[in-house]
Structure 1
Amino acid sequence: MTIEFYQANAEAFFNDTVGVDMHSLYQPFVAALPAKACILDAGCGSGRDSKAFLDMGFNVEAFDASSEMVQRASAHTGLSVSLCSFTDFDKPTHFDAIWACASLLHVDENELPAAISALINSLKYGGLFYMSFKYGNSQRVKDGRTFTDMNEDRFSSLISQFPELTIHQLWLTEDKRPNRNERWLNIIVMKNH
């Protein structure tokens, strides 16, 4: 259902998101990364964040589950963006960091642990993993997309399934897009030995 939404609305979504200034969200993430770190942009959408990280000098790989978004992200970034889902991605302990901005929120809450587990498998020990969810405590469908909202309690319950992860930082922000009044839960976790 969600992929079909992005297939049908890729151009509008690209245009609505590619120019949004996200630098205040990048800062806590990149500040803890080594120079030229290898970042995975998981569910990259328009490729906006991949391009920003490339421009900062990082090595970036990206994937998305929508072929229409992959096409646009590849053109925008110059990367060969992969077409795959969270659970299909398989590059064990390859990345210094993972960026999953507004992407895991489309995974059904019952499938979210498997998606996170697959991504963790691609993260090096000591690596950072950023994810963001719309702030709330339910799963819902809106405009043909599934949303798994997250608050502090729901995230604590989710993360308790992963003893190798510790919360590095957790904070709330307002939506960066104009004419939006939604709040977001931003999380950075670290993968421990």
Structure 2
Amino acid sequence: MKRTSIDYYEMYTERFFETTVSADMHDVYQPFLSLVKPRGRILDLGCGSGRDSRYFIRHGYQVEALDGSPALARLASEYIGQEVICGRIEELEYDQEFDGIWACASLVHIEKKDMPEILKKLKRALNLEGILYISLKYGEGEGVKDGRFFNYYDEAQLREVFNGLKDLKIIKLFRTEDVRQERKQELWINVLARAV
């Protein structure tokens, strides 16, 4: 993750927490959780406010939450009632530890040239048949916007990235509107993939 993005979250921690913690992600939780084994182990990668971790914990899953921003990790720890690891996505060194990885709006801060290597790390972190969920901003290109680095993908670009990974297969590729009312016009592209 670009340093500029972490700096942004450090500067605007409270505001980011408040604007995202109540976002209703139920429509995306269901397709993901229907594929993850009951009471399985989930990595919430780039957990932000801890909103999704809290939901998964309350539904009986074992959750390890990680965020690159020390300030957000502290707030999320309080919110979910367990420690959130402060660490960068690029530094992940897990090996077949999770039944599911939830990367909601966190890989948007990874440069496109680095995405294949990051996805290989995530695949290594998954158990066989484990499920990966990622959401990215829909569109084309990459660059800094309002103090954060973002990448943008469409269906063809994402299929091309995943086609280069022999052991991570797309199950479902779908678009959603941003769940925050003031950002309804923003589209996201979502991927569910299985480690094979």
TM-score norm. by structure 1 comes to 0.97
The alignment status of 1:46 with 2:49, answered yes or no, reads yes
* 1:120 correspondence with 2:109: no
Question: How big is the shift at 1:154?
Answer: 0.9
Q: Could you say what secondary structure the match of 1:149 adopts?
A: strand
In structure 1, how many angstroms separate the alpha carbons of the residues matched to 2:190 and 2:169?
14
Match of 1:183? 187
1:142 aligned residue: 145
Instruction: Tell me how far 1:6 sits from its aligned partner.
Output: 0.4
Secondary structure (helix, strand or coil) at the match of 2:171 reads strand
C-alpha displacement of 1:161: 2.0
Runs of 4+ in structure 1 off by over 4 angstroms are none
Q: Report the equivalent of 1:68.
A: 71
Displacement, 1:32?
A: 1.6
**Contact 1:133 / 1:184 at 8 angstroms: preserved in 2?**
yes
Larger deviation, residues 111-120 vs 136-145: 111-120
* Structure 2: distance between partners of 1:149 and 1:7: 23
Higher-helix-fraction structure: 2
Deviations, residues 50-100 of structure 1 (Å, cap 9, x unaligned): 000001111100101110110111111012111111121222100000000
Give the Cα–Cα distance (whole angstroms) in 2 for the partners of residues 8 and 145 of structure 1.
Answer: 11
The one-letter code matched in structure 1 to 2:157 is R
Equivalence for 1:24: 27
Q: Alpha-carbon deviations, 1:132-189, whole Å to 9, x = none?
A: 0010111121111111111111101111221101111111111100111101101100
Cα deviation for residue 114 of structure 1 reads 2.0
SS at match of 2:18: helix
Q: Which residue of 2 aligns with 1:152?
A: 155
SS state at 1:128 partner: strand
Matching of residue 101 in structure 1 with residue 101 in structure 2: no
**RMSD, matched Cα:** 0.9
Give the TM-score normalised by structure 2: 0.95
Structure 1, unmatched stretches of 5+, are none
- In structure 1, the partner of 2:58 is 55
Q: How many Å apart are 1:49 and its aligned residue?
A: 0.3
Query: SS where residue 79 of structure 1 aligns?
Result: coil
Percent identity (aligned): 38
- Corresponding residue SS for 2:89: coil
